[in-house]
Structure 1
Amino acid sequence: MAPTSVGYPKVFVVDAEGKPLLPCHPARARKLLKSGKAEVLRGSPFAIKLKQAVENPVGSLRAKVDDGSKWVGIALVNEFTGEVVFRGVLVQRGDVVRLLTLRREYRRNRRYRVVRHRECRNQNRKQVVPFPSIRQKKEAIYRVLADLAKIAPISGVDVELVSVGVKNPALPGRDTREKVLNRDGACVLCGSTEKLQRHHLVPRAKGGTDTPENQVLLCAECHRKLHSGEVVSSRKGKTFAWRAHAVLGKAYLLALLSCFGEVRACEGWQTEKWREGLGLAKSHANDALSLFPPERLLKIFGPEHLIYPLRRRRWEDNPTKTCEERNGFRHWDVVRAVRAGKVVFGCVRSLKARAMTLRTAGDGNFEVSYSKAKLLHRPRGLAYVPVW
């Protein structure tokens, strides 16, 4: 039976000492605010702070993480009641490799300049594992969970680890060789059953995976002709490039998540099985909340969120950011805008003379007028954009 969705979101609660409590109903939060027993703590995700301490708080939430290279699904689930109090998709930064390369070129330019020359010192530096481009993606996941742990009692983490091995039991066989042999049975080009060999559609030297999806069965003669260019195969392989950042930092990610409590790990085929059992559509947020589903029926509260990790280091006098504020709006402000009768939520991308552009769920450059936009939240390190 599919989970039920509720339109209103849960309100996060923190006591006077800063201890996170279980989220409450919006009506209860409204009564606490009107009676003066609580005050607004933050705007997104919305949280209130009680004016009295709570001794021995009851209940906890479990964080769910669907790791990925570009998008990471994150959810907070109460396994006792089956309530999904928060779900979102972390949009990973894709400019780190370019910035690292640019910094390296600047350093080399200074080092080999004629006016001031010094010898190379990069041999003295210790190699950091994982690489900075991979490490920042794993640390972004930690930043989101650490931020949510300030307002939610997280007692453990469930994470789906990206794997390039052969773990899917859908194909019969103990290893990759047997799975490919049982799937094809004969040469895919001529149908021969003699001198069968495995062929990688995308070579491993070019980032191809060693999974059955990237391999086909060929006879020795067709294998030779394919490599010599006499015949061409129409089947496409599976590359490893898009999984590289998600796979290489698994141990580092598990070490970061261990500070939130017990960590349970699973693989993609298990997540797919659980998600199909719940009757949910394929999405990163749904994959996250499907990890290790509780026995109770899931009840999803509120909208999905897009989470943008902001750069911690500001570049002063940036020539590309000449306008810091216009009409009360700044970069990365979360706003609610109306255009052509359609209500959209997004964060500010650019501030122009007559209009501004937003990052939304459907458009990364959505233009709206200043008079049709309303400021909802000004983020500090993470921007949470609701997707209604």
Structure 2
Amino acid sequence: MAPAFAGHSKVFVVDAEGKPLLPCHPARARKLLKVGKVEVLRGSPFTIRLKYPVENPVGSLRAKVDDGSKWVGIALVNEHTGEVVFRGTLIQRGDVVRLLTLRREYRRNRRYRLVRHRECRNHNRKQLAPFPSIRQKKEAVCRVLTDLAKIAPISGVDVELVAAGVKNPALPGEGAREKVLNRDGACVLCGSEEKLQRHHLVPRSKGGSDTPMNQVVLCEKCHRKIHAGEVSLDREGWTFAWVAHAVLGKAYLLALLSRFGKVRMCEGWRTKEWREGLGLAKSHANDAACLFPPGGPLKIFGPEYLIYPLRRRKWEGNPTKTCEERSGFQHWDIVRAERAGRRVFGCVRSLKARAMTLRTAGDGNFEVSYSKAKLLHRPRGLAYVPVW
């Protein structure tokens, strides 16, 4: 059954002692604010705090994580009522490898400069597993769940793990060879059925995968012509480049997620079946919401969020961030702006003399004037940008 979409979002609630409670309807939050029983705790996602403690809170939510290399889908679902109270996409940082390489070059430059010699310390350094560039991506997922656990009662986590092996049940056969032969049946160039061979669209020496998505069936003659450069295929292959970052940190991610309760795991093809069965469009947030769906229909509340992990250390001397504040706005502020009759939500990217630029869902450098923007929330560690 197709899920229902509500036009409003749920309001997160915590009591006076900081214990998270189940989200409430915005109308109920407005009544409590009007009579003075609650106060606003944060603006994005919108959260209120009761002025009295709750002895025995009831109900819990389950976190859903669609792990990936660049984008990670995260959702909070009430499995008893089928309500999706939060869904968003975590935008992973892509500059960590460059910064680590730059730091290593600086360190080697200091060692071999014409100054006092210092011995190499590589032998007494302990290598972290997984590598720091992968650790920070998995820790960013845990960082988001830790922040959401402050305003939502999370009792467990469902996670989709990326698999690099041949585990697609849609194609008949046990191994990759049988799956490719059963799918094509003959040479894809000439149609011959004699002396069939497998051909990798992206060579394994260049990062190509050994899955059926990266292989086609060719006869012996056509296979020889392909490698000689006489003919070519108009098909794109599949590489391990994005899979490697997600696969290498599996055990580390599961160890981090175990802090939030029992962890259930599934694979991508199961998620695809659940999402298509519910009739949802392909997105990382929808994939996360479809993990282990409840028996009844889903009801999705509110917008989808773009989550940006802010750097804890400021970049000194950044030429694009020489201005810390202008017209009451700072970097990474969540604002609502209008331009040419279009209303957008985004976070501040840069502050210029006459206008500022925003990170939005459709444009990473959306320019608006200061008079057309309104400050909604000033994040501290994570920026939640709603996408209506």
Q: Which interval holds the TM-score relative to the shorter structure?
A: over 0.9
Instruction: Quote the offset at 1:41 in angstroms.
Output: 1.2
1:1-388 alignment to 2 at 5 Å? 1-388=1-388
- State how far apart, in whole Å, the 2-side matches of 1:4 and 1:226 are: 50
Letter in 2 for 1:11: V
**SS across alignment from 2:300:** strand
Instruction: Quote the offset at 1:128 in angstroms.
Output: 1.0
Structure 1: unaligned runs, 5 residues or longer: none
Identity of aligned residues (%): 84
Letter in 2 for 1:352: K
Of residues 339-348 and 318-327 in structure 1, the stretch that sits farther from structure 2 once superposed is 318-327
- State how far apart, in whole Å, the 2-side matches of 1:318 and 1:185 are: 57
CA RMSD of aligned residues (A): 1.4
**SS across alignment from 1:123:** coil
Instruction: Quote the offset at 1:12 in angstroms.
Output: 0.6
- State how far apart, in whole Å, the 2-side matches of 1:300 and 1:190 are: 50
- State how far apart, in whole Å, the 2-side matches of 1:84 and 1:324 are: 37
- State how far apart, in whole Å, the 1-side matches of 2:359 and 2:308 are: 10
Instruction: Quote the offset at 1:184 in angstroms.
Output: 1.5
Structure 2: unaligned runs, 5 residues or longer: none
Instruction: Quote the offset at 1:231 in angstroms.
Output: 3.3
- State how far apart, in whole Å, the 2-side matches of 1:234 and 1:284 are: 28
Describe the superposition over 1:174-233 as per-residue Cα deviations: whole angstroms up to 9, x where unpaired: 111110111122222333333322221111121111110111122334333322334333
- State how far apart, in whole Å, the 2-side matches of 1:167 and 1:145 are: 29
Instruction: Quote the offset at 1:348 in angstroms.
Output: 0.3
Paired residues in the alignment total: 388
- State how far apart, in whole Å, the 2-side matches of 1:267 and 1:4 are: 25
Letter in 2 for 1:102: L
- State how far apart, in whole Å, the 1-side matches of 2:192 and 2:127 are: 49
- The 8 Å contact of residues 306 and 386 in structure 2, kept in 1 or not, is answered as yes
- State how far apart, in whole Å, the 2-side matches of 1:342 and 1:377 are: 20
Instruction: Quote the offset at 1:236 in angstroms.
Output: 2.1
**SS across alignment from 1:124:** coil
Instruction: Quote the offset at 1:239 in angstroms.
Output: 1.2
Instruction: Quote the offset at 1:119 in angstroms.
Output: 3.0
**SS across alignment from 1:140:** helix
- State how far apart, in whole Å, the 1-side matches of 2:317 and 2:117 are: 28
- State how far apart, in whole Å, the 1-side matches of 2:179 and 2:199 are: 13
- State how far apart, in whole Å, the 1-side matches of 2:229 and 2:83 are: 57
Question: Per the alignment, do residues 230 and 123 of structure 1 end up closer, same or farther by CA in structure 2, a change over 3 Å counting?
Answer: farther
Instruction: Quote the offset at 1:235 in angstroms.
Output: 2.6
- State how far apart, in whole Å, the 2-side matches of 1:77 and 1:99 are: 37
Instruction: Quote the offset at 1:284 in angstroms.
Output: 1.1
Of residues 229-238 and 372-381 in structure 1, the stretch that sits farther from structure 2 once superposed is 229-238
Instruction: Quote the offset at 1:172 in angstroms.
Output: 0.7
**SS across alignment from 1:97:** helix
- State how far apart, in whole Å, the 2-side matches of 1:190 and 1:222 are: 8
Letter in 1 for 2:314: R
Describe the superposition over 1:306-342 as per-residue Cα deviations: whole angstroms up to 9, x where unpaired: 1000001223454542111111111000011111111
Per the normalisation by structure 2, the TM-score is: 0.97
Of residues 121-130 and 321-330 in structure 1, the stretch that sits farther from structure 2 once superposed is 121-130
**SS across alignment from 2:99:** helix
- The 8 Å contact of residues 320 and 350 in structure 2, kept in 1 or not, is answered as no
